[in-house]
């Protein structure tokens, strides 16, 4: 940060020349491994606020893998993450006995590149939506196939299901349908919002910052590409970076292992 990044609006008062636009992307699988190793439980809103360093992110997304069979505890946890104000993106593991590696690196790479190049909103595109988490065929407030009139289809192993950002109009309209036209209010759903309202696309007078929590080493190339485009990249991890190449490709690295403000009190 230098003097050239600011302009003086009156004597003794300066402001940034460019608006800072922050996106937070969390690898839930890596985060879970790290917190289990430390035997602590992370508070998701506190984590987002911590890595945002005082800024309000315009995008906050959480990516994770879910079992092939429905798991009620996993569903409850992801519902809590969604209510905390994050978009949840899940990918189903293959059935037991099938040795096929599955990760969310591809989805994260696509999203951080899209955000870095100016995209502020992420729609439900390219796949059909069924129930948010689980294989139950019954419709829920978060169930909506792509395209009007499309019928829900069972989620396939390895396919991806994004949940809507908490507090969006689509959530409330779905609640209206499920409750006979009597939708729940924002207070009744107890969903928070960690993100700031934004326009669909960014503008040139922006300084975009991509922050990834517990990134996998396969994100080295997207980080390097963003860095070559003069987009600030931040990796936040717990004492151990995922490879030397990843450390070299990011502009900043945050060590979360010493943080005292991101943990749950219980």
Per-residue pLDDT for the chain (266 aa), expressed as one digit of tens each?
Answer: 555 554 555 565 545 567 889 999 999 999 999 999 989 999 999 999 999 988 899 999 999 998 888 788 888 888 889 888 899 998 888 888 888 888 899 999 999 999 999 999 887 653 333 344 443 333 333 333 323 333 334 444 444 444 333 334 444 444 444 344 444 444 444 455 666 665 555 556 788 999 999 998 889 999 999 999 999 999 999 876 666 778 788 888 899 988 889 998 87
Q: Report d(CA 131, CA 83) in Å as an integer.
A: 16
For residue 112, how far is the Cα from the chain centroid? Answer: 10
Rg (CA), the chain: 19
Judge whether 264 and 42 are in contact, CB under 8 Å.
yes
What architecture is the 20-125+190-255 domain classified under in CATH?
3-Layer(aba) Sandwich (3.40)
Q: Report d(CA 74, CA 79) in Å as an integer.
A: 9
The pLDDT, as a whole number, for residue 126 is 36
Q: Report d(CA 16, CA 8) in Å as an integer.
A: 9
The pLDDT, as a whole number, for residue 129 is 34
* Domain residue spans of the chain: 20-125+190-255
């Amino acid at each position: 940060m230098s003097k050239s990044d600011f302009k003086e609006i009156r004597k003794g008062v300066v402001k940034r020349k460019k608006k800072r636009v922050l996106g937070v992307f969390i690898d839930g699988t890596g985060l879970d491994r790290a917190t289990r190793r430390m035997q602590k439980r992370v508070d998701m809103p506190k984590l987002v606020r911590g890595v945002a360093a005082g800024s309000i992110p315009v995008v906050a997304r959480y990516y994770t893998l879910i079992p092939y069979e429905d798991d009620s505890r996993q569903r409850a946890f992801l519902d809590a993450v969604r209510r905390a104000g994050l978009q949840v993106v899940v990918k189903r593991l293959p059935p037991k006995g099938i040795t096929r590696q599955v990760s969310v690196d591809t989805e994260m790479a696509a999203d951080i590149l899209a955000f870095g190049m100016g995209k502020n909103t992420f729609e439900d595109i390219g796949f059909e939506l069924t129930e948010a988490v689980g294989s139950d065929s019954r419709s829920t407030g978060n169930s909506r196939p792509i395209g009007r009139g499309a019928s829900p289809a069972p989620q396939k192993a390895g396919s991806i299901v994004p949940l809507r950002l908490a507090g969006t109009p689509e959530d409330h309209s779905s609640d209206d349908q499920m409750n006979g036209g009597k939708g729940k209010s924002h207070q009744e759903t107890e969903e928070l919002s960690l993100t700031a309202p934004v326009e669909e696309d960014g503008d040139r007078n922006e300084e975009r910052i991509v922050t990834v929590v517990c990134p996998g080493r396969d994100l080295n190339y997207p980080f390097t590409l963003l860095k070559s485009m003069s987009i600030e990249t931040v990796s936040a991890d717990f004492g151990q970076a995922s490879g030397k190449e990843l450390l070299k490709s990011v502009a900043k690295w945050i060590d979360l292992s010493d943080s005292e403000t991101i943990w749950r009190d219980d």
